[in-house]
Amino acid sequence: MKIIVTGGAGYIGSHMVLLLIQNGHIPIVIDNFINSNEYNLNKIKEVTGKDFIIYKKDVLEDLSDIDTNGVNGIMHFAALKAVGESVEKPAEYYKNNVAGTINVVNFALSKGIKNFIFSSTAAVYSEKVEPPFNEESSVYPANPYGWTKYFSERVLQDTAQTGKLNSVALRYFNVAGNQEDGLIGEIAKDPKNLIPSIIVSHLGYRPTNLKIFGNDYPTRDGTAIRDYIHVLDLCEAHLKALEYLQTHSGHFTFNLGSENGATILEVLKTFEKVTNTKLNYEIVDRRSGDIAVSIANPNEAKKVLGWQSKRDLKQMLDSSWKWYKSGFREANNL
């Protein structure tokens, strides 16, 4: 099947492009390269021997010239994703993420594309709810980024009511890891997520020490607990969601997480073990917009999609380590 992948040059999108090809599908990428470049896509072409179309475009632009002949669905990854930055630049986030999604939805409607898979986030859940979160848990994001994702979900849910576009919103918990050999990955030079931050600081790509934001949370060691999910498991869930939409109409929401939480200090210790290194870090104040504990209840995805995460934290750290030591350096000319 032909599948449009917005944000296909980025971290998760590029893993999706590769998995689509490995499963006999044909990706069509739309990306403006604001947080990436062509490195991942070139690597994918090299290892698979398959060529595919790349549109260098902003999802806010007129998309009508994109060839949608035979396209079965859209996987919409393109977005800005840094929670802290969304607190500083909310309007930029609402424009890129909400207006961007609306434009892609209108494009799907105008071209008669019926299936839409959306990258949502665990950041939609209210911090007042006791984790693990299920899809029925109250939604009240703690930051503008989370709101942009929730508003986008509403656009899809309401559009599904018209019967013209079926959609799945996948609420990702903390995505980590890379292709096992570290072939492709996140390109942004100043990554904000924990595992990339650990590695870029450790390898000296960033001049400052690794910062841990807060050790006074009500958790077992005082640092925040997150549910880490391997990017390859996550992409497999997208294939299952695509399959599901072939025979089901409406709007559906699924949590994608491992059901296990790790504290930041536990992640650091596991990293030290996996890579046989010693980390330097400093504890600083909590960061605005962060919550204490975020853990998924992924039972709905298990039951309905037949999906379950299989890879563990060690595999995430090992493959990330490989990416940041080689491909990341090359992709950024470091």
Ligand X SMILES: NC(=O)c1ccc[n+]([C@@H]2O[C@H](COP(=O)([O-])OP(=O)(O)OC[C@H]3O[C@@H](n4cnc5c(N)ncnc54)[C@H](O)[C@@H]3O)[C@@H](O)[C@H]2O)c1
Applying CB under 6 A, the residues found at the interface with ligand X are 7, 9-13, 31-36, 58-60, 77-81, 96, 100, 119, 121, 172, 174-175, 186, 188, 193
> Of 278 and 323, which has the nearer Cβ to ligand X?
323
3-state secondary structure the chain: CEEEEECCCCHHHHHHHHHHHHCCCEEEEEECCCCCCCHHHHHHHHHHCCCCEEEECCCCCCCCCCCCCCEEEEEECCCCCCHHHHHHCHHHHHHHHHHHHHHHHHHHHHHCCCEEEEEEEHHHECCCCCCCECCCCCECCCCHHHHHHHHHHHHHHHHHHCCCCEEEEEEECEEECCCCCCCCCCCCCCCCCHHHHHHHHHCCCCCCCEEEECCCCCCCCCCCEECEEEHHHHHHHHHHHHHHHCCCCCEEEEEECCCCCEEHHHHHHHHHHHHCCCCCEEEECCCCCCCCEECECCHHHHHHHCCCCCCCHHHHHHHHHHHHHCHHHHHCCC
> Of 191 and 277, which has the nearer Cβ to ligand X?
191
Least distance to ligand X from the beta carbon of 76, Å?
A: 7
> Of 188 and 267, which has the nearer Cβ to ligand X?
188
CB 145 within 8 A of CB 83: yes
Positive/negative CA dihedral, 96, 90, 38, 169: negative
> Of 76 and 322, which has the nearer Cβ to ligand X?
76
Task: Tell me whether residue 172 is one of the annotated catalytic residues.
Answer: no
Report the residue number whose CB is nearest to ligand X.
Answer: 10
Least distance to ligand X from the beta carbon of 229, Å?
A: 8
Catalytic residue among 94, 145, 217, 228: 145
* Side chain identity at residue 93, one-letter code: Y
Least distance to ligand X from the beta carbon of 163, Å?
A: 26
> Of 12 and 212, which has the nearer Cβ to ligand X?
12
> Of 91 and 249, which has the nearer Cβ to ligand X?
91
Least distance to ligand X from the beta carbon of 192, Å?
A: 9
Angle (nearest 5°) at CA 142 between 95 and 124: 70
Q: How far apart are CA 285 and CA 216, in angstroms?
A: 9
Least distance to ligand X from the beta carbon of 60, Å?
A: 5
Least distance to ligand X from the beta carbon of 77, Å?
A: 4
Catalytic residues: 145
